Amino acid sequence: MDIRDLTPEDLDDVLDLRKRSFGPIPAADRDRWRQAVLPVLDEGRYLGVFDGTRLAAAARVRRFTQWWHGTPQPMAGIAGVTVNPEDRGRGVGTTLMRAVIGRAAELGDAVSALYPATTPIYRGVGYEHAGAQHNVRLPAESLRRIRPSGQVKLRRMGPGDAAELVSVLHRVHTAARSSGPVSWDEATWNVWLGNEDDFLYLADDGYVIYRWKGDDMQVENLVATSPETLRALWSLVGSASSIARDVVASVTPDDPVLWLLGERSEEQVKQARWMFRVLDVAAAVERRGYPANVACDAVVTVDDPVRGGGTWRLEISGGSGTATPAGEGGVTLSVNGFSALYAGIPPYTLRLAGLMSGDDRYDQALEAAFAAKPYMLDYF
């Protein structure tokens, strides 16, 4: 088996591979997929495993920005991991993922995330469950009753608005001290904003992307920094209540819309879980944001068979952190455990799950420094 970068000539084989793994792909989606993939092939972001000339497996390294405690950093989003039916059970997927992890690090990413179709293969190369995309079903009528508290100027959005949309996302997630959400790069946003079936509205400090999904409305993204814009955007979605009974929306774990509803008793929430991995301990710690009033000085040993582990002294204060090589001692974590800690999973949980051991005197400081409620609004 050989691993190499995919070329435009391989894309028909990739589509066949995806069909065998995920089912038939509508023609419109195939065209949009090609439009998004072609520009990044020269960047080394699509790898394939070949058995001679036959494509056996493939995976894409997407370019994302991800926020941790309101601080953005580059993130490798692993997507489209596919293995031909006849090649499954031979270790091809693990071989591919090890290569993908190496490539993501070469591209300069210190962290990585993915939505798993199955857990064991990804856990085996260092990924651990960290957060979720939360999709809640709400009565459309309840959203219609949310009245804007001021004048908000909304306009329709299109491909030329990608830069402004990204700017809004930076302001929103910084203000909210968000952990986990991502933004596509501008080129990819320009492709997605050209989808003629989506309804796209932009304000100075927020935006919404939604569409019909059967008899319901589906909200993919709705973010805002002011109460006025938040109310205006949800009211806009709710204006479809004469036709749509329900709205299925991707929301934050503590989304303010849930406090704007006139009636709230039972809620249907569906979670799509995502997994997370630290690729470079020192860079990941330095690029992350932390609570400004928390201080932490801890020694941690990270066991990473794929990337190579080590021992670091973590020094976190004033909202910033560093990781410098240190001697033995302190806390010991698998890379899975350190990735989960980085994403806000408490040390007590990690110890009971067998992902963390050793000196427990740092546990409280580590829990406070890395505290987070990780989520994503986007599925990839």
**CATH number for 357:** 3.30.1050.10
pLDDT of residue 274 exceeding 90, the answer is yes
Q: From CA 188, how far away is CA 193, in angstroms rounded?
A: 9
Can you tell me whether residue 319 is helix, strand or coil?
coil
Average pLDDT, integer, range 249-262: 96
Question: For all residues of the chain together, what is the average pLDDT?
Answer: 96
User: Which tens digit of pLDDT belongs to each residue from 13-68?
Assistant: 999 999 999 998 898 889 889 988 998 899 999 999 999 999 999 999 999 999 99
**Residue 38 lies inside a defined structural domain of this protein:** yes
Q: From CA 360, how far away is CA 366, in angstroms rounded?
A: 10
**213 plus 149 within the same structural domain:** yes
Question: φ, ψ for residue 348 (rounded to 5)?
Answer: -60, -45
**Total-model pTM:** 0.95
pLDDT of residue 319 exceeding 90, the answer is yes
pLDDT of residue 269 exceeding 90, the answer is yes
Residue 95: per-residue pLDDT: 97
**Residue 317 lies inside a defined structural domain of this protein:** yes
Nearest to residue 300, comparing CAs of 313, 309, 289, 287?
Answer: 313
**Residue 18 lies inside a defined structural domain of this protein:** yes
Q: Is residue 50 exposed (0-12), middle (13-18) or buried (19+ Cβ within 10 Å)?
A: middle
**141 plus 120 within the same structural domain:** no
Residue type, 207: Y
**138 plus 264 within the same structural domain:** yes
Q: Which of 72, 102, 126 is the last residue of a domain?
A: 126
Residue 378: per-residue pLDDT: 97
Residue 164: per-residue pLDDT: 98
**Residue 375 lies inside a defined structural domain of this protein:** no
What Å distances lie between residue 3 and 99, 130, 195, 306, CA to CA?
Answer: 8, 29, 34, 17
- Domain residue limits at 42: 2-126
Angle at 198 between CA 27 and CA 172, to 5 degrees: 125
Q: Is residue 234 exposed (0-12), middle (13-18) or buried (19+ Cβ within 10 Å)?
A: buried
**Residue 201 lies inside a defined structural domain of this protein:** yes
Residue 316: per-residue pLDDT: 98
Q: Which residue has the tokens 């495993």?
A: 49
pLDDT of residue 329 exceeding 90, the answer is no
What Å distances lie between residue 171 and 176, 179, 236, 314, CA to CA?
Answer: 9, 14, 22, 28
Q: From CA 129, how far away is CA 113, in angstroms rounded?
A: 10
Residue 281: per-residue pLDDT: 98
Q: Which of 249, 272, 295 is the last residue of a domain?
A: 272
**110 plus 17 within the same structural domain:** yes
Contact (Cβ atoms closer than 8 angstroms) between residue 338 and residue 366: no
Query: Residue 297 corresponds to which tokens in the numbers above?
Result: 């000085």
Q: Would you state the torsion angle of the CA atoms of residues 338, 344, 345, 346, taken in this order, to the nearest 10 degrees?
A: 100
> Looking at residue 210, which CATH number applies to its domain?
3.40.630.30
User: Which tens digit of pLDDT belongs to each residue from 138-175?
Assistant: 999 999 999 888 789 999 999 999 999 999 999 999 99
**25 plus 70 within the same structural domain:** yes
Contact (Cβ atoms closer than 8 angstroms) between residue 260 and residue 235: no
Q: From CA 279, how far away is CA 281, in angstroms rounded?
A: 6
Residue type, 321: G
DSSP 8-state secondary structure symbol assigned to residue 6? -
Contact (Cβ atoms closer than 8 angstroms) between residue 372 and residue 67: no
**Residue 160 lies inside a defined structural domain of this protein:** yes
**160 plus 241 within the same structural domain:** yes
**266 plus 285 within the same structural domain:** no
**315 plus 236 within the same structural domain:** no
Residue type, 72: P
Average pLDDT, integer, range 309-327: 96
**Residue 217 lies inside a defined structural domain of this protein:** yes
Residue 177: per-residue pLDDT: 98
**108 plus 50 within the same structural domain:** yes
Domains in the chain, number = 3
User: Which tens digit of pLDDT belongs to each residue from 330-371?
Assistant: 999 999 999 999 999 999 999 999 999 999 999 999 999 999
Q: From CA 177, how far away is CA 173, in angstroms rounded?
A: 6
Can you tell me whether residue 373 is helix, strand or coil?
coil
**12 plus 102 within the same structural domain:** yes
**138 plus 121 within the same structural domain:** no
Q: From CA 119, how far away is CA 26, in angstroms rounded?
A: 28
**Residue 55 lies inside a defined structural domain of this protein:** yes
**105 plus 195 within the same structural domain:** no
Q: Which of 126, 148, 181 is the last residue of a domain?
A: 126
- Sheet with 320-325, strands from edge to edge, namely 320-325, 310-317, 296-303, 331-334, 356-358
Can you tell me whether residue 97 is helix, strand or coil?
helix
